[in-house]
Amino acid sequence: MKKFIRLLFSMAVCACLLMASCKKEHTHEFSEWQTSIVTTCTTDGEEYRNCSCGEVETRTVKATGHHEDENSCAEPVLCVDCGARIKDKSDHHKFTEWQVTKEPTCTTTGSRTHTCTVCNITRSEIINALNHNYSEWQVTKEPTCSSFGEQRRVCSNCKEVLKESIAKLPHNYDEWQVTKEPSCIYEGTKRHICLECSAIETEAIPMVDHKFGEWQVTKEISCDHYGVSERKCNTCDLVEEKNDGIKDHNYENNVCTKCGHSREVNVKLEEILNKNIDLKLDKKKFVFKPMLASIIMSVFAYTFYLVMITRINDKIVTVLSLLMCAIIYIVVLAILKIFSKEELFMIPFGQKIYYFLKKLGLYGNGLNADKMYTYKR
């Protein structure tokens, strides 16, 4: 059965191949190209053609681009196909030769024009300035050591003359001649003369050093005064002094054997300075009570600031708060009996504060007389 099916399939394939080989091949016969989309200067077009078998073939036609009339020089230049503006100036003018209407000079520009023989349009053009064309420098006056020279050159175009000065020559001086000898108190002078123009140049000669003799003692050294020596300049008699120092005292029983100087005062001062000072600070008086006074002052001042800030200017409130701080602090210190009577009198309005607190019974006659220090011998 399978063999029979295979045989039928092979026969069908052969029949199809035979029919295909017997069929006649078709050749397209297209019509003329027809326009489906018109081509313009700026956009592509499209054409098509048909075959009798129904086959359709198409092709794209590229944009032609703008075209200008080469026989016209009208401006602006328009496209002959679509009338679009191509450019402002035409390239097809037939101009005459350039005619110079203004000759250029070395410093000013010139101008020239030419005209189209077709449309009679005229165009102008600037001619650049020529710039000077100077000759070589010619010396008209030779320089000397006392006067400037001069040179000039001439422009071949406009005959302008350019002048320029030439620097002076250096002087030709002879040798220096001393006109005043220097000393140890005066400067000297010297001069030399130019051999060409007789100009004189003068120059100062620095002073020379003093010529001192040997040192001579004018006051002997002692233990109660300084010694002095001097020397004298042999040229100008200037006297120079120097301090030779002082001798040490030779003390016996605190008295100098040479000058009789006593050092008793110095000994007493050394004894006082060698004493030990034992400081006894009261922590309650100098630490805790001032801290308590600071806290009370801060509370009162801050409360005063909060109450008054809504009523008056903030700057005025700040100043008043600072004053309150000072007053409250001093009053609290007085109430806590940190100050003695003498110390309380030393502060501003201390006497009034003292008598006010005495009336209140806060201070008695035997006021806080604590000692800050004692001597230990």
Q: Within its chain, how far is the Cα of 325 from the centroid?
A: 49
Type of residue at 350 = G
Q: What is the mean pLDDT of residues 324-346?
A: 73
pLDDT tens profile 277-293 = 455 556 677 777 778 87
Q: Within its chain, how far is the Cα of 318 from the centroid?
A: 42
Q: What is the mean pLDDT of residues 17-21?
A: 52
Could you please report the per-residue DSSP string of 2-33? HHHHHHHHHHHHHHHHHHHHHSPPP---B---
Kind and range of the H or E run holding 237: none
Residue ranges of the alpha helices (H) in 137-280? 264-274
247 CB contacts (<8 Å, ≥6 apart)?
A: 221, 222, 223, 258
Residue 319's pLDDT band, with cuts at 50, 70 and 90, is confident
Q: What is the mean pLDDT of the chain?
A: 80
Give the whole-angstrom CA distance, residue 182 versus residue 60: 114
Could you please report the per-residue DSSP string of 139-159? EEE---SSS-EEEEEEBTTT-
Whether 229 contacts 241, CB under 8 Å: yes
Poorest-pLDDT segment among 289-298, 301-310, 360-369: 360-369
Give the whole-angstrom CA distance, residue 360 versus residue 65: 119
Selected residue with higher pLDDT from 296 and 178: 178
Q: Look at residue 340 and tell me whether its pLDDT is greater than 80.
A: no
For residue 201 the two structure tokens come to: 């140049």
Give the whole-angstrom CA distance, residue 371 versus residue 377: 17
Give the whole-angstrom CA distance, residue 187 versus residue 234: 18
The pLDDT value recorded for residue 223 is: 85
- Tell if the pTM clears 0.85, that is, is over it: no
Residue 317's pLDDT band, with cuts at 50, 70 and 90, is confident
The pLDDT value recorded for residue 12 is: 65
For residue 56 the two structure tokens come to: 């359709």
Residue 170's pLDDT band, with cuts at 50, 70 and 90, is very high
Share of the chain above pLDDT 90, in %: 25
Could you please report the per-residue DSSP string of 154-176? EBTTT--EEEEEEPPPPP-B---
The pLDDT value recorded for residue 14 is: 60
Selected residue with higher pLDDT from 88 and 348: 88
Poorest-pLDDT segment among 10-14, 69-73, 297-301, 363-367: 363-367
Give the whole-angstrom CA distance, residue 340 versus residue 347: 11
Selected residue with higher pLDDT from 73 and 123: 123
Give the whole-angstrom CA distance, residue 147 versus residue 138: 18
Closest CA to 200 of 174, 169, 181: 174
Give the whole-angstrom CA distance, residue 54 versus residue 266: 146
Selected residue with higher pLDDT from 318 and 72: 318
Q: What is the mean pLDDT of residues 196-206?
A: 93
Buried/exposed 331-370: b ≥16 CB within 10 Å, e otherwise: bbbbbbbbbbbeebeeeeebeebbeebeeeeebeeebbee
The pLDDT value recorded for residue 282 is: 66
Whether 146 contacts 168, CB under 8 Å: yes
Count of all residues that appear for the chain in the document: 377
Q: Which residue has the tokens 């000079």?
A: 105
The pLDDT value recorded for residue 376 is: 35
